[in-house]
Chain A
């Protein structure tokens, strides 16, 4: 069965005031929101700019706000967001500069991750629970990467879609806040660190006004994470450890 969905899409380009265009798109009832955006682009207006790649919640590049809420449109069924009467409103993520229409400049997300000094990448041999393939290994068991690749890497569960930053009311206030994804990366590094100097350095990197203390505890990052991660819980965990360390230092004096 096909549906005729009224789809409002945010439009923004240099020299044109931001506004929304309404398209009535015809899509299958099994369609996703991304299918509807693509239908608007293919059959109504080829100048609509949006970003997507994998179509299965792996790349995170298509993240937008649907009816005001951050979602990955590639895995959001149109029937989950359309009541059959009202317009479905698609807007770019908040708290990022809009490059054009639904495309935001996510470089600030990577700036925040870099500011946290924690790489979101790690060697795959440390991350996978099982051995893969027949790849040769060095004496210590590390897999040898193919020629031209320095080492195996994989993204952690965070797909760096930017949804947590868009959903975060603290990030909406601007500033240099590391943001939920950056702080969660720090907490993950902290969980793995064992050397005291390393732990000190990791905790010190977020013990400031732009770090864990900036969060206003709205839990919206955790609420919206399409990967089911818990950045807010990670921030609380860092706060608890930092507070405990300060209290210990206070009573030692």
Chain B
């Protein structure tokens, strides 16, 4: 009679990973779009509050505002502008895709719509980045 082996199994270390519901790796385009929307959405909310905080400088008079503007016209700050625009483009264009698909317009081609949205976002980002840095 064949007996069962009783080897003690090896125990690999427990995995370290993102909350599994928000980990799009190896998942479909829809999951990537879902996660990107959440990340950019949260980023834009944070940006909004930072923006409102910065605008409060206006209440301190023109000198305070002008000196701040000199700082944000520096190259590193312009790069941050590009990051904000990238988040806005991804969120807005994906939002249009989701809205259309949610009303059953193009729901079957949502993956292609995501690809198109991201290509359009990339093209617009390049154009806007050039305009930002050329105008600085």
CB closest chain-B residue, reference A41: B4
Residue of B nearest to A239 (CB): B102
| 10 closest A-B pairs by CB | A172-B21, A219-B30, A21-B9, A218-B34, A223-B28, A240-B104, A22-B10, A236-B107, A169-B21, A218-B30
Contact B4 A43 (CB under 8 A): yes
Say yes or no: A43-B5 contact (C-beta < 8 A), given A67-B26, A68-B25, A219-B30.
yes
Contact of B9 among A44, A67, A89 (CB under 8 A): A44
Given contacts A22-B10, A169-B21, A217-B98, contact A237 B4 (CB under 8 A): no
B76 contacts the other chain (Cβ, under 8 Å)? no
- Cβ of A61 < 8 Å from any Cβ of B? no
| Tally of contact residues, A, Cβ under 8 A | 36
Q: Cβ of B90 < 8 Å from any Cβ of A?
A: no
**A8: CB under 8 A from chain B?**
yes
A46 touches which of B4, B19, B25, B34 (Cβ 8 Å) = B4
| B108 on interface, CB distance cutoff 8 Å | yes
Complex alpha-carbon distance, A240 and B101, angstroms: 9
Give the docked Cα–Cα distance between A217 and B107 (Å). Answer: 10
The answer to whether A8 and B12 have CB atoms under 8 Å apart is: yes
Those of B110-129 within 8 Å (CB) of chain A: 110-111
Q: Write out the residue numbers on chain B whose beta carbons fall within 8 Å of the beta carbon of A68.
A: 20, 23, 25-26
Cα distance, A87 to B9, chains bound together (Å): 14
Chain A residue contacts of B19, Cβ below 8 A: 172
A217-B20 contact given A67-B26, A236-B103, CB 8 Å threshold: no
Asked if B60 is an interface residue, CB under 8 A from chain A, the answer is no
Chain B residues with Cβ under 8 A from A216's Cβ?
A: 34
Which of under 10, 10 to 19, 20 to 34, or 35 or more describes the interface residues of B?
A: 20 to 34
B40 touches A (CB below 8 Å): no
CA gap between A232 and B4 in the complex, in Å:
45
Assuming the A-B contacts A20-B14, A172-B20, A219-B110, are A237 and B104 also in contact, with contact meaning beta carbons closer than 8 angstroms in the complex? yes
Which of A42, A167, A220 has the most C-beta atoms of chain B within 10 angstroms of its own C-beta? A220
Check A220–B31 contact: CB distance below 8 A: yes
Point out residues on B near A: beta carbons under 8 Å: 4-5, 7, 9-12, 14-15, 19-23, 25-31, 33-34, 98, 101-104, 107-108, 110-111
Known: A42-B4, A44-B9, A172-B20. A240 touches B103 (CB 8 A): yes
Per the 8 Å Cβ criterion, residues 141-166 of A in contact with B are: none
Interface string of A189-229 (1 = CB under 8 A from B): 00000000000000000000000000011111011000000
Q: Does A54 contact B (CB under 8 A)?
A: no
Q: Which residues of chain B are within 8 angstroms of A87 by Cβ–Cβ distance? A: 12
The answer, yes or no, to whether A4 is at the interface (CB within 8 Å) is no
In addition to A23-B9, A44-B4, A173-B21, 8 A-B residue pairs with Cβ atoms within 8 Å of each other are: A20-B15, A42-B4, A69-B26, A167-B27, A220-B28, A222-B30, A233-B108, A243-B103
Closest Cβ of chain A to B127, distance in Å, is: 28
CA distance A67 to B20 in the complex (A): 12
- Whether B22 pairs with A169 at a CB distance below 8 angstroms is yes
Interchain nearest-CB distance for B92 vs A (Å)? 16
Question: Digit string of A16-33 for contact with B (CB within 8 Å is 1, else 0)?
Answer: 000111110000000000
